[in-house]
Amino acid sequence: MKHLVSIRDLDKTEALELLDSAQGMSQVNDRSIKKLPTLRGRTVVNLFYENSTRTRISFEIAAKRLSADVINVSADSSSVSKGESLKDTAQTLEALGADCIVIRHPMSGAAQQLAGMGWVNSSIINAGDGTHEHPTQALLDALTIQQRLGSDLTGCRVLIIGDVKHSRVARSNALLLSLLGADVQLAGPVSLVPMDLSALGVRISHDFDIALESTPDVVMMLRVQRERMLENFQESEAEYVNQWSLSRKRLSVLGDKSLIMHPGPINRGLEICSDAAEDSRSTILQQVKNGLACLLYTSPSPRD
Ligand code: CP
């Protein structure tokens, strides 16, 4: 696998193998000496046109643990701010020795463009492109579910809640968890859950409380992405909390073994209350930890 742009790049066997390997790699993170020689002599560039805490730092730590040289480039402190194009930026990075470019970009399709246009020979990993996909987030989420509920996700009931429209996390998770046999339902306000998402092979609903009656195994809350909303969200915030927040009241009707997931960063008091985020059923920090394990495996290596 040279690139990882979309969950659609994987079939079920490849996805399961990748998750098995990531589970094995997670042990590296528990060793006293956390280095592997896998990427010695390689250069990984993290090219981020959008802010990130979890993804950028996880990619940096993973590449360092695999002995690569790592360079972090943020758009606002590079010549991108002078108008340099994506093509010219990527070719410049490759001329400087990049074997792998990890890209986060506000434009849906940016990673695909880099991987598919023949501008560079580097491996391309999509760290989130616009509202399209965030494949490594879906992989770390699937690994987390496997660790908590067992490796076979067939029939696992997953409820993904909130601002689906702007969520690349929701798209990648819907694709991956469906591929692995889970029963995925997307729910949120009509304005934030377009019906055309049913083409992903998932069910759609517009009532959180009714959706909770189906006793989901996993409730995955999504961040309200104000930065991608053209309209003024503030006006309807109280209504959103009332209808779509994982509140203390809704927390009390969740099953004892149901998982509470959130990709982060969380808006406490908006899509999720603090009690839910810190509940024993919450996997939020386990998800972060598993990101590192997944990236240790998905970072390109000499096997490619
Ligand atoms: N989940 C996620 O992608 O978080 P960051 O934006 O902090 O990378």
Angstrom distance (rounded) from CA 184 to CA 200:
10
Residue 264, ligand 1, Cβ within 6 A: yes
Whether residue 89 sits in one domain with residue 215 = no
Residue 53, ligand 1, Cβ within 6 A: yes
Whether residue 159 sits in one domain with residue 102 = no
Residue 263, ligand 1, Cβ within 6 A: yes
Does residue 20 fall inside a structural domain? yes
pLDDT value of residue 230: 62
Q: Which atom of ligand 1 is nearest to the CA of 128?
A: 3
The alpha carbon of 108 and the centre of ligand 1 are apart by a number of angstroms equal to 16
Q: Which CATH number covers residue 119?
A: 3.40.50.1370
Angstrom distance (rounded) from CA 136 to CA 6:
9
pLDDT value of residue 234: 56
Whether residue 188 sits in one domain with residue 104 = no
Whether residue 70 sits in one domain with residue 166 = no
For ligand 1, atom 3, name the residue with the nearest CA.
55
Whether residue 35 sits in one domain with residue 122 = yes
The alpha carbon of 127 and the centre of ligand 1 are apart by a number of angstroms equal to 9
Half-sphere exposure of 140 (CA within 13 A, CB side): 31
Angstrom distance (rounded) from CA 144 to CA 233:
31
Whether residue 284 sits in one domain with residue 145 = yes
The alpha carbon of 243 and the centre of ligand 1 are apart by a number of angstroms equal to 25
Residue 201, ligand 1, Cβ within 6 A: no
Whether residue 111 sits in one domain with residue 48 = yes
Whether residue 174 sits in one domain with residue 123 = no
CB contact at 8 A, 158 and 182:
yes
Does residue 209 fall inside a structural domain? yes
Whether residue 268 sits in one domain with residue 156 = yes
Q: Which atom of ligand 1 is nearest to the CA of 58?
A: 8
Does residue 304 fall inside a structural domain? no
Domain membership of residue 115 as a residue range:
7-133+289-298
Q: Which residues pair with 129 in a beta bridge?
A: 105, 133
Residue 34, ligand 1, Cβ within 6 A: no
CB contact at 8 A, 160 and 197:
no
pLDDT value of residue 294: 85
Does residue 2 fall inside a structural domain? no
Residue 214, ligand 1, Cβ within 6 A: no
Does residue 16 fall inside a structural domain? yes
The alpha carbon of 264 and the centre of ligand 1 are apart by a number of angstroms equal to 6
Buried b (16+ CB within 10 A) or exposed e, 126-154: bbbbbbbbbbbbbbbbbbbbbbbbeeebe
Question: Total domain count for the chain?
Answer: 2
> How confident is the chain (304 residues) per 10-residue block, as mean pLDDT?
93 96 88 92 97 96 95 93 96 97 97 96 97 97 98 98 96 98 96 88 95 96 85 73 96 96 97 98 97 77 44
